[in-house]
Amino acid sequence: MIDKLPELVNADPAIVRWGRQMNETFLVEVGEAQYLVTVRAGRIESVEKGPLVMRAWTFAIRASADAWSRFWRRVPEPGWSDLFALLRRGDVRFEGDQRVLMAYLLYLKLVLAAPRKLAA
């Protein structure tokens, strides 16, 4: 799902507008798989699949594959629809510079929810 982020996000002007000031690289971990996501002016420039040894990132969002699959359902169950709901449950971890994560929180929520459009 993460590999589809560039086409899902870059095709949605509303999401790009929310991130128009963001120029960062962050890590998304789906179970054991790692993805390095590079954003330039709100557009997803690249998504690189790991393993990523000694690669720089500003912050990381880590969760199990099961947690992400429940989060990415077209209509998630209660408690699985928001990053902070997953954080409260203990199913997601934030690491790194959380000031940057919080500065672009709405953008990141929209980006990470974008794969729901592909759910059956």
Contact of 104 with 19, CB cutoff 8 Å = yes
Sheet with strand 92-96: strands edge to edge? 43-49, 33-40, 23-30, 59-63, 92-96
Residue 1's pLDDT is what?
Answer: 79
If one counts the domains in the chain, the total is 1
The tokens describing 59, both together, are: 């912050």
The tokens describing 73, both together, are: 């359902």
Q: What is the mean pLDDT of the chain?
A: 92
Residue 52's pLDDT is what?
Answer: 76
CATH value at residue 46: 3.30.1050.10
Note down the domain range covering 112: 2-118
Residue 41 is given by DSSP the state T
pLDDT digits (tens, 9 = 90+) for 93-120: 999 999 999 999 999 999 999 999 887 6
Residue 5's pLDDT is what?
Answer: 92
pTM over 0.75: yes
pLDDT digits (tens, 9 = 90+) for 35-71: 999 999 999 999 999 887 788 999 999 999 999 999 9
> Using CA atoms, how far apart are residues 90 and 27, in angstroms rounded to an integer?
18
